[in-house]
């Protein structure tokens, strides 16, 4: 295939919309085959998505092209009950609300290309979305007579905005939109007939925008409300590395491992007073280890363990309670308020069965730790990444001897987290808030061997 054609396909895959991913804000799997197996892919080499899973797998995948599209539907809901704005002179229920986020359908493309260079080396490229965060709640949920939101906006030296307000006492629609795209040129080589090493350069681009957060203007340095919200889309770039190993321990057992260091990203300057450390939003360190067992020619069973170090990125991991009852200057600094996400452990289990020479079917289960604690519910109205269990199905059908179609489906049942509102820091009672989410996705990919 000519390089020009490959470049066009990469550009198509790069035109990714944002979505809200599943293991925190990482996807439950990368590549449609992996998605059908609960994401278990560290010890598998069945496509050209190794740049996202395990770079060492590419030298076992052969010459191939994979391109796909996932339709991803996250449904998010938030509610607050029992609030009391006594400190601001209002009455019970002064800032109660409930809202359902819009933007419930997203298109997530994937792309992989791999070329063998002899029997022991390969070069390729994987393009994928590293998840993202997206919410879009309606405005006007809280009446203009709310004493609580009047007082809350009054903390901003610029006066904030007038009501009616959204659920966080800001003006207009409330939400954020984060997209992360990774282009991963990958090189792999066999160090002997049963072991390989690989490396992927992670060329990363991310975009972010926020709206409806004027109520938090008082938290910014000097209470200015600047570089916080409603500033359009900001961009950030960075480069990281993923290293991998794969080894065939026997004819039946293969193991793999991969490690990705924290990717240092340029800062979101437009939102430097929203994110801790002056707009820093690095991609967290993560690593995974996996095993695949093939008892016969028809069955393969795989298991992965993954760790994602969300706590190592201040804007993501700092508790939203940092600063306590202090208002001014508790957003934007390195030790300031963040989303409070803890590190996430993920277990991925999958099985595939070769029904006949043309059809292979798959099923899987993915369980992740919930990164969000009850103390951080208020901030995570914007990013309710609380789902934990993911059930998957998939199949591959050989259209010809050199081409195939793969489909995968995922369902993550409803999960919720409830905690005291951060508004309770300033009100007699800010009430109790609940965030919840459920997810479904359905994708299709085309694979070509050449």
Structure tokens at 26: 């990482």
Chain CA centroid to CA 105, Å? 15
Say if residues 340 and 379 touch (Cβ distance below 8 Å): yes
d(CA 428, CA 415): 29
- Strand 195-211 and strand 286-293: the pairing is unpaired
Tens digit of pLDDT for each residue in 261-282? 999 999 999 999 999 999 999 9
d(CA 336, CA 229): 17
* Alpha helix positions (H), 337-419: none
Among residues of the chain, what percentage have pLDDT more than 70? 93
Say if residues 30 and 53 touch (Cβ distance below 8 Å): yes
Contacts of 25 (CB under 8 A, 6+ apart): 130, 131, 132, 133, 178, 180, 383, 385
**How many degrees, rounded to 5, is the angle at CA 243 between CA 240 and CA 245?**
170
Chain CA centroid to CA 133, Å? 6
Per-residue pLDDT, averaged over 304-311, amounts to 97
Please say if the pLDDT value at position 416 is more than 70. yes
Q: pLDDT tier at 21 (50, 70, 90 boundaries)? A: low
d(CA 180, CA 52): 13
d(CA 402, CA 309): 40
Higher pLDDT, 314 or 147: 314
Chain CA centroid to CA 197, Å? 27
Say if residues 61 and 67 touch (Cβ distance below 8 Å): no
Say if residues 207 and 178 touch (Cβ distance below 8 Å): yes
Say if residues 284 and 312 touch (Cβ distance below 8 Å): yes
The answer to which of 73-77, 299-303, 390-394 has the lowest mean pLDDT is 73-77
Per-residue pLDDT, averaged over 8-18, amounts to 51
The answer to which of 146-155, 366-375, 402-411 has the lowest mean pLDDT is 146-155
* Main-chain dihedrals φ then ψ at residue 9, nearest 5 degrees: -65, -40
Say if residues 105 and 3 touch (Cβ distance below 8 Å): no
Domain CATH for 228: 2.40.160.60
pLDDT computed for residue 92 by the predictor:
62
What is the reported pTM?
0.93
pLDDT computed for residue 2 by the predictor:
52
DSSP string of 421-436, one letter each residue:
-GGGGTSSB--EEEEE
Say if residues 200 and 186 touch (Cβ distance below 8 Å): yes
Please say if the pLDDT value at position 96 is more than 80. yes
Q: pLDDT tier at 160 (50, 70, 90 boundaries)? A: confident
Question: The domain containing residue 236 runs over which residues?
Answer: 3-449
Instruction: For the chain, count helices (H), then strands (E).
Output: 6, 15
d(CA 92, CA 299): 61
> Residue 137 has what DSSP assignment?
B
- Other Cβ atoms within 10 Å of 89 Cβ, number: 11
* Main-chain dihedrals φ then ψ at residue 176, nearest 5 degrees: -135, 165
- Total domains present in the chain: 1
Tens digit of pLDDT for each residue in 115-147? 999 999 999 999 998 766 789 999 998 988 888
Task: Give the CA distances from residue 415 to residues 20, 74, 121, 358, 380, in Å, rounded to whole numbers and listed in that order.
Answer: 14, 12, 44, 38, 14
d(CA 373, CA 339): 10
Burial class from Cβ neighbours inside 10 Å (0-12, 13-18, 19+) for residue 377 reads: buried
210: left (phi over 0), alpha (psi -120 to 50) or beta: beta
Please say if the pLDDT value at position 189 is more than 80. yes
Structure tokens at 205: 């681009």
- Per DSSP, what are the bridge partners of residue 174? 137
Mean pLDDT of the residues in the chain: 92
Say if residues 384 and 373 touch (Cβ distance below 8 Å): no
């Amino acid at each position: 295939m000519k390089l020009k054609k490959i470049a066009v396909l990469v550009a198509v895959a790069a035109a990714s919309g944002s979505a809200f991913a599943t293991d925190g804000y990482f996807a439950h799997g990368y590549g449609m085959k992996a998605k059908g197996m609960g994401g278990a892919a560290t010890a598998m080499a069945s496509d050209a998505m190794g740049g996202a899973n395990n770079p060492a797998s590419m030298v076992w995948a052969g010459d191939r092209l994979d391109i796909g599209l996932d339709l991803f539907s996250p449904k998010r809901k938030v509610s607050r009950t029992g609030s009391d704005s006594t400190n601001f002179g209002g009455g019970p229920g002064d800032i109660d609300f409930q809202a359902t986020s819009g933007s419930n359908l997203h298109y997530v493309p994937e792309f992989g290309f791999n070329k063998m260079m002899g029997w022991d080396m390969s070069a390729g490229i994987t393009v994928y979305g590293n998840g993202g965060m997206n919410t879009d709640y309606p405005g006007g949920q809280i009446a203009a007579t709310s004493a609580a939101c009047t007082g809350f906006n009054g903390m901003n030296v610029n006066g904030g905005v007038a009501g009616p307000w959204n659920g966080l006492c800001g003006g207009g629609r409330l939400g954020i939109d984060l997209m992360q795209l990774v282009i991963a040129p990958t090189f792999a080589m066999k160090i002997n007939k049963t072991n390989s090493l690989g490396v992927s350069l992670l060329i990363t681009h991310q975009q972010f925008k926020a709206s409806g957060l004027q109520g938090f203007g008082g938290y910014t340095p000097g209470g200015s409300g600047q570089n916080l919200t409603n500033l359009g889309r900001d961009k950030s770039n960075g480069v990281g590395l993923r290293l991998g190993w794969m080894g065939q321990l026997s004819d039946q057992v293969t193991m793999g491992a991969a490690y990705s260091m924290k990717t240092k990203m340029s800062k979101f300057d437009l939102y430097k007073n929203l994110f801790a450390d002056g707009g820093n939003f690095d991609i967290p360190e993560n690593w995974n280890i996996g095993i695949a067992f093939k008892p016969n020619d028809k069955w393969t069973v795989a298991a992965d363990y993954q760790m994602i170090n969300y706590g190592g990125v201040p804007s993501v991991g700092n508790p939203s309670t940092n600063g306590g009852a202090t208002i001014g200057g508790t957003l934007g600094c390195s030790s300031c308020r963040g989303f409070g996400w803890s590190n996430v452990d993920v277990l991925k289990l999958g099985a595939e069965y070769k029904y006949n020479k043309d059809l292979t079917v798959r099923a899987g289960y993915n369980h992740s730790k919930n990164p969000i604690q009850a103390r951080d519910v208020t901030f995570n109205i914007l990013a309710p990444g609380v789902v934990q269990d993911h059930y998957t199905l998939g199949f591959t059908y050989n259209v010809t001897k050199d081409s195939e179609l793969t489909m995968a489906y995922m369902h993550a049942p409803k999960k919720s987290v409830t905690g005291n509102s951060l508004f309770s820091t300033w009100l007699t009672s800010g009430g109790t808030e609940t965030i919840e989410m459920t997810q479904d996705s359905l994708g299709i990919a085309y694979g070509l061997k050449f």
